[in-house]
């Protein structure tokens, strides 16, 4: 036994003529090489450095092909790596929740050409740990195809999560190697793909009579870019309650589809903020024309099985000023430290509630106040202030504020472009009690009956 041990050590030393890295990764690439930002962003150029960074040679590529997922139903993901000069191939793939890319999305199934490794250690089953599918090993001809030119495609069996978890992000890295049995001369590519659940909603959306309304006032007046609410039946899948989150965004904008539903106003798709079977919150598109326009709710929008609900109608105005309230009466107003303005005896929240004092600056929120400078399109999330181009008159307790007491009137930064913010100073002569607040633009004014609590 001792002799065998010695000979084994000598053989290992002599094996130094073959690159150590090849032996080190003889079972496939190490985990966390798919360029997932939550994993540190590393890819295969950590070892294959000749043509670093990844994607530096435009003649090659890596691609992911997969259909929208059906929760809990196994399907095939195809990963292809190509380069005109390469002659050996490798890959690594991982699936993550778009809502939290530190968490896995579904499971991979090992096969004759695919190995599945767990994030912590060992091979699948990973029992909930993050999984990485990859080529089997450097010496496996079926998996890495040494000597094969053009490219290689792997088929990976993947079982998505059992429920609709929203978008899933697939990350992959590929190695277009030169078959030299070393890490030199190889080209690395990375890619990622956003994957939505398959849309198979059935039924037909029905809008209530006068079911398209201003989301702030619940009145019928709306305008381009205004926030709106739609009420009806079968507007989304049964049991659906989805609020648009950053992982739903498209190029940094609010999505035109959420939970397999869309809204079309005046022939244009509208950003969707919230979806449920009986209510949708959305933003009117940036239409230039005003007047009567049709409204429709779409199930499975843009797909062969799209269902268009019965048309309803709404009239677009140039402006439709409205203020948000907590209960139809008490304005959704904040102090400058973000405490809520109101009577703590009647408004209960998980943050302090206190009245405003004469002379205080408060923040009001509304929609329908028209164009801004700089301009914003429906679905945008403005990073900085954008002031209203029209003239806004603010009246508190029957007293119209002086211009210097309207400190800001424009879009609420970092929120959807249909939400406006007004920083205003309460007049020093304002009486105690629930005081009426009205914002006007020409002949159009925010809803009557909206009040703010003032107390010395």
pLDDT digits (tens, 9 = 90+) for 149-167: 999 999 999 999 998 888 9
Query: What is the H or E stretch that residue 387 is in?
Result: strand 387-388
> Are 54 and 190 in the same domain?
yes
Per the structure, the complete domain to which residue 280 belongs is given by: 206-316
Segments of 2-83 assigned E as strands: 61-65, 75-83
User: Domain boundary residue among 143, 173, 195?
Assistant: 195
In whole angstroms, give the CA distance from residue 293 to residue 274.
Answer: 22
pLDDT tens by residue, 176-210: 999 998 999 999 999 999 999 999 999 999 999 99
Residue 3 lies in a domain: no
> Are 160 and 257 in the same domain?
no
Residue 9 lies in a domain: no
Taking CA atoms, 389 is separated from 369, 441, 456, in Å, by 9, 11, 34
Task: Please tell me the pTM assigned to this model.
Answer: 0.79
pLDDT tens by residue, 302-337: 999 999 999 999 999 999 999 999 999 999 999 999
pLDDT tens by residue, 235-283: 999 988 999 999 899 889 999 999 999 999 999 999 999 999 999 999 9
> Are 48 and 110 in the same domain?
yes
In whole angstroms, give the CA distance from residue 430 to residue 422.
Answer: 18
Residue 200 lies in a domain: no
> Are 43 and 188 in the same domain?
yes
Report residue 117's pLDDT band, with 50, 70 and 90 as the boundaries: very high
Better-predicted residue by pLDDT, 420 or 289: 420
Note the pLDDT of residue 164. 85
Residue 19 lies in a domain: no
Residue with tokens 């190695």, as numbered in its chain: 175
Share of the chain above pLDDT 70, in %: 93
Taking CA atoms, 78 is separated from 61, 91, 152, 204, in Å, by 14, 11, 10, 35
Residue 15 lies in a domain: no
In whole angstroms, give the CA distance from residue 207 to residue 309.
Answer: 8
Report residue 77's pLDDT band, with 50, 70 and 90 as the boundaries: very high
User: Domain boundary residue among 195, 217, 249?
Assistant: 195
> Are 365 and 264 in the same domain?
no
CB count in 10 Å sphere of residue 72: 12
Residue 71 lies in a domain: yes
- Range 12-48 burial, b when 16+ CB lie within 10 A, else e: eeeeeeeeeebeebebbbbbbbbbbeebeeebbbebb
The number of distinct structural domains making up the chain is 3
């Amino acid at each position: 036994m001792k002799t065998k041990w010695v000979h084994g050590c000598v053989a290992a030393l002599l094996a130094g003529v073959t690159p150590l890295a090849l032996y080190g990764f003889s079972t496939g690439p190490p985990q966390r090489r798919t360029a997932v930002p939550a994993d540190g962003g590393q890819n295969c150029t950590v070892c294959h450095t000749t043509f670093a960074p990844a994607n530096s040679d435009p003649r090659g590529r890596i691609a992911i092909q997969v259909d929208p997922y059906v929760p809990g139903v196994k399907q095939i993901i195809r990963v292809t790596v190509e380069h005109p000069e390469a002659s050996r191939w490798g890959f690594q793939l991982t699936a993550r929740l778009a809502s939290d890319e530190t968490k896995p999305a579904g499971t991979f199934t090992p096969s004759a050409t695919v190995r599945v490794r767990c994030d912590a250690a060992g091979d699948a089953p990973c029992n909930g740990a993050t999984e990485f599918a990859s080529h089997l090993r450097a010496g496996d001809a079926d998996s890495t195809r040494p000597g094969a030119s053009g490219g290689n495609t792997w088929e990976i069996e993947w079982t998505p999560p059992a429920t609709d978890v929203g978008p899933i992000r697939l990350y992959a890295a590929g190695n277009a190697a030169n078959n030299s049995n070393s890490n030199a001369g190889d080209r690395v590519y990375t890619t990622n793909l956003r994957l939505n659940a398959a849309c198979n909603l059935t039924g037909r959306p029905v809008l209530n009579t006068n079911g398209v309304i201003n989301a702030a006032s619940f009145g019928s007046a709306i305008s381009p870019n205004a926030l709106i609410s739609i009420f009806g039946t079968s507007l989304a899948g049964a049991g659906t309650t989805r609020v648009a989150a950053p992982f739903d965004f498209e190029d940094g904008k609010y999505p035109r589809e959420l939970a397999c539903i869309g809204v079309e106003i005046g022939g244009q798709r509208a950003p969707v903020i919230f979806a449920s079977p009986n209510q949708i919150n959305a933003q009117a598109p940036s239409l230039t024309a005003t007047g009567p326009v049709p409204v429709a709710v779409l199930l499975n929008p843009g797909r062969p099985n799209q269902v268009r609900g019965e048309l309803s109608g709404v009239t677009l105005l140039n402006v439709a000023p409205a203020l948000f309230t907590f209960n139809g009466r008490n304005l959704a107003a904040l102090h400058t430290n973000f405490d809520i303005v109101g009577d703590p005896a009647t408004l209960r929240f998980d943050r302090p509630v206190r009245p405003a004092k004469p002379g205080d600056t408060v923040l009001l929120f509304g929609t329908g106040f028209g164009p801004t400078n700089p301009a914003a399109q429906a679905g945008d999330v403005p990073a900085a202030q954008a002031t209203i181009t029209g003239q806004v008159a603010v009246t508190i307790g029957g007293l119209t504020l002086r211009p210097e007491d309207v400190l800001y009137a424009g879009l609420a930064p970092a929120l959807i472009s249909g939400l406006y913010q007004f920083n205003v100073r309460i007049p020093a002569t304002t009486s105690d009690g629930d005081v009426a607040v009205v914002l006007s633009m020409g002949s159009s004014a925010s809803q009557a009956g909206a009040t703010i609590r003032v107390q010395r």
